[in-house]
Amino acid sequence: MNLTSPTQVKSWCIENGFHPNKTLGQNFLIDRNTLVAIADAGLEGAAPGETVLEVGPGLGVLTEEMLGRGMRVTAIEKDPVLAERLAREFAGEERFSVVALDALDRRAEEEAWKPFGKAKRLVSNLPYQAGTRILLNFVLEHELDHMTVLLQTEVAQRLAAKEGSKMRSLSGTWAQLDYDVKILRNVAAACFWPRPEIGSTLVKLSKHSRNASLTPKEREMFRFLTKKAFEHRRKQLGSIFKDMVKSTARAESLSNEEWVNLSKGTANENS
C-alpha cells in the first residue's frame, strides 16, 4: 500500500472497518514531500543502523521511510489496532519493534519502556491532541539528543518563542533549558487525512549543554518558579513571589539565562 496515497489510505480504513479517532489525534500524513522533509531533518547526522524512537506511527508512513534509510525504529502506538497492523506489516524486519503503549501513561511498567533505552533520537508526527504533553514528557524525563516532530503550528511557535514574545510559554521555557528549538517548515492541513482544522509545523529540538551544571535542586527551583510565574503571567514577578523575588518583570520577559540565574540564587538562599 502506498501510504502517501489518500485513496489507498482511505480504502484500507474502509476495508478494515477502521475509523480514525479524532480524540487520539489520528491524522495520517499523506504528502510525500513533507515525509521526506521530516526524515531528512530528523535523521541528519544519524549513524547507519541507529535506533530511532517514533511515537504515534499510525499506519507507518514515516516508519517505512526511516527503515528504508537503514535505521532501527522502535515505535510506541497507543491504538492496539494500528499497533497490530504495524507488527504484521513489518513482521520480517528485524530492525523494527512496536509496543502498544500510551506514551503518557506513567503507570506503565518499567519493563515496557526498556526497548526505548537505546534511542537518542525521536522522529515523529505526534498526535494532535497530546503532542505537547508527549514532547514535554520526553524533554523532562528522557535523555534524547535530538527530537524532530510535527506539532500544531501554535504549539511549535510557543516552543520556539524567545523572551519578550507574546508566544513565550512555560512549555518553551522548559524545553529551551536543555534544547535549542528551531522551526523548520509549516505543513498545510491538506497534507493529512483526515484533514485537521489547523496546520502543523515541523520543529527540531537539539540538546545543548549550557545548563548541564545545574543541580537537581536548582532544576526543581527553575520549574517551580517558571510554572508559578506563567500561571500568573499578567502579574509582576515581585508580586507573585513576594519576599523570594524582587522584580517588576513578567514571566515572558525573562530569558532562560535569567531564569537559570534566578533559580540558582533562590535555591542557594533556601538551602
Least confident segment among 107-111, 160-164, 189-193? 107-111
Q: Report which DSSP code applies to 111.
A: H
> Which tens digits make up the pLDDT trace of 239-261?
998 877 778 889 999 999 999 99
SS3 call for 205: strand
* pTM metric for this prediction: 0.93
CATH fold of 6-207 = Rossmann fold (3.40.50)
Give phi and psi for 252, each to the nearest 5.
Answer: -75, -10
pLDDT at 22: 86
d(CA 114, CA 123): 18
Concatenated DSSP letters of 6-38: HHHHHHHHHHTT----TTTT--EE--HHHHHHH
Residues of the chain with CATH 3.40.50.150: 6-207
**Cα 251 → chain centroid:** 23
Q: Cell digits for 123? A: 522522529
pLDDT at 106: 62
Residue 30 has pLDDT above 80, yes or no: yes
d(CA 121, CA 142): 10
Residue 219 has pLDDT above 90, yes or no: yes
Is residue 262 within 8 A of residue 241, CB to CB? The reply is no
Minimal CA–CA distance to 101: which of 162, 160, 57, 159?
A: 57
Residue 205 has pLDDT above 90, yes or no: yes
